[in-house]
Structure formats: structure tokens, C-alpha cells
Structure 1
Amino acid sequence: METSAELLYLLKAYDSKDQFGFENDLERNECLQWVFFWHGSGAPYQGQVSHFTKAAPEKIPYAINRFKKETLRVFGVLEIQLSGKYSGQEKEYLAGKGKGKYSIADMKTWPWVKGWERTFEKGEMEFPHVLKWIDRVAERGAVQRGIGEGYNLKQ
């Protein structure tokens, strides 16, 4: 919960112009929905599959398979949002009207999802909108400065 709380604090204390948040109540709530969705679903599942894969892959295949499936299910929800399946318009970012706007929802989710290759095979990652979103966020200048030259997205 720490990162979500930190992001919400930083948003309230230092983002008075809503550069990474939203002035509109509906958009703000959509952003919070995606922060909480990742916080309560994506991060725990992906963390568990990563843990069990590294800790004892030969001893706990049930746990690995269960959390892999759940993480892929969550990636599927991200895919639906980014594809615009229900809104009728593809989104560039998780929250906001139209194509969306880079926000704390993306900041919360991207660091986890961008490392999908550590846990999943290419054939398992059948989410083209999520993959484009990973690249789109990675190309942002501030993200590049934040991850630094020594940070390898493929590790």
C-alpha cells in the first residue's frame, strides 16, 4: 500500500495543476479505480508468481500456475481498457477522457507490467494494447530520466 499512498500524497501536495491527476471528478475517480485495481489485483498476483517462480519452481507448480493465470487475467483487464472495447476509442493511458492522460494510474501500474518478460513467455503475453502502452510510457522523457541508462527493461 505504500506506493499508492505515496502517489496520492504527492498528487495532493505537489500537483495543484493536476498534471498527473484530474480536476474532473469522474476522471479523478477513474484514475483512482485503476490505481486501486493494480494495487489490489495486479501487484499481489504478479508478486506471487515472481516469488514462487524464483523461490521453488520445482516444488510449487500449483502456486506458479495459479498466480500466472491470475496475473494474465489482470493484464487482460488492462488490455480491455486500453483497447477501448467498451468506450469505442483506443486509449493511450489508463485513465481520462478520450485517449486518456498519463497519470498516477500509469505510474502505479507500469513499473510492474513492463517487466513481464521476467515471468512470462512471449506467447503468453497476447495483449497488443498493453505492449504498446508499455513502450509508450517507457518513451516518456521523465520516465527515461527516472529509470536511467543502467536500467534494463528486459531483465
Structure 2
Amino acid sequence: MESSAELLYLVNLADKNNIFWFSDPTDQIIQNAVDRSKREVLRAYNVLEIRLSGKYGGGARNYLAGRDKGKYSIVDINAWAWIRNAGRIGFSEDELARLTHLQKWIVRIAMRPAVERGLGEWYDEHVHPELLLETS
């Protein structure tokens, strides 16, 4: 189970006075913290971009782990689940445009038949836009 889901369950179960949770998160936004988080995520994306580009040897890669062009593995499965919505979390088009290898990797993973079956219609943002989280 996702650890965030477990924490949300515990908060809803035991934190009736909002001691460990914000009663209204929109009142708690601190722009410096938001900016720092964005920088850290972009830094991590840049590390993945360098890995996929083969900048430091070996040529461009299709997957994150393995020899040569890489091999689809649990590393890709785990990372893709967190990175696939990179375009929706507040980065500018210019910031994302510099991540060409990462964007190709996102599409490559999404096009795998098992991934398409696993996501299905339920996770299609065009069919269920109410499930999208907006950060802007």
C-alpha cells in the first residue's frame, strides 16, 4: 500500500483536531517552500535526463537501468509512476523542453501494452478529469 494512503487514513481516523494536518492547506502555502520543492524536483528530473541521454558515456538509453540502452525494470516502473505527470505540476514549457530524453522515456513507458492495460480508461485524464490534481 502507498505510504501516503496509510498516513491519510491515520489522519482521518485519529486526528480529529487537525493537529497533524492542516485544516485549510491553502492558508498554509509558503511560496519559498513551493519554489524550493520545484527546484528539487527539477534537479531530480535533470539527473534522469542526464542518465537517459548518455551524456557521460554509452549513448542514449531507452530505460534507466541495465547495460547499453538499458532494460525495462522495476526502476522504470517505480519512477514512471511519479514522473508521468511532470507536465502538470507547475513547470514551464521551457523547463520541460530541456528534458527531451525524459519526455521520450515517459511516452515510451506509457506505450507499453501492459502499462496501457494497467491504466485503462479509469486513469485517462480526458475521461476522468475530476481525478487530476492541479498545482497552479
Q: After TM superposition, list the pairs within 5 Å mapping 1:30-41 onto structure 2.
A: none
CA-to-partner distance for each residue in 1:76-122, whole Å, 9 max, x for gaps? Answer: 00000000011231000000111001000001100110111221232
Question: Aligned partner of 1:124: which letter?
Answer: E
Contact 1:115 1:153 in 2 (8 A): no
Q: Which has the higher contact order (CA 8 A, sep 6+)?
A: 1
Distance 1:62 1:150, change over 3 A: same
Distance 1:153 1:95, change over 3 A: farther
Question: Aligned partner of 2:76: which letter?
Answer: D
Q: After TM superposition, list the pairs within 5 Å mapping 1:104-123 onto structure 2.
A: 104-119=74-89, 120-123=91-94
Match of residue 147 from structure 1: 119
Contact 2:58 2:68 in 1 (8 A): no
Distance, in Å, in 1 between the alignment partners of 2:92 and 2:27 is 15
Distance, in Å, in 1 between the alignment partners of 2:42 and 2:63 is 19
Distance, in Å, in 2 between the alignment partners of 1:74 and 1:151 is 25
Distance 1:64 1:117, change over 3 A: same
Contact 1:94 1:105 in 2 (8 A): yes
Distance 1:84 1:153, change over 3 A: farther
Unaligned ranges ≥5, structure 1: 4-54
RMSD: 2.0
Equivalent position SS for 2:67? coil
Contact 1:82 1:130 in 2 (8 A): yes
Q: What is the number of equivalent residue pairs in this alignment?
A: 103
Unaligned ranges ≥5, structure 2: 3-24, 127-131
Match of residue 131 from structure 1: 103
Match of residue 103 from structure 1: 73
Equivalent position SS for 1:89? coil
Contact 1:57 1:64 in 2 (8 A): no
Distance 1:65 1:111, change over 3 A: same
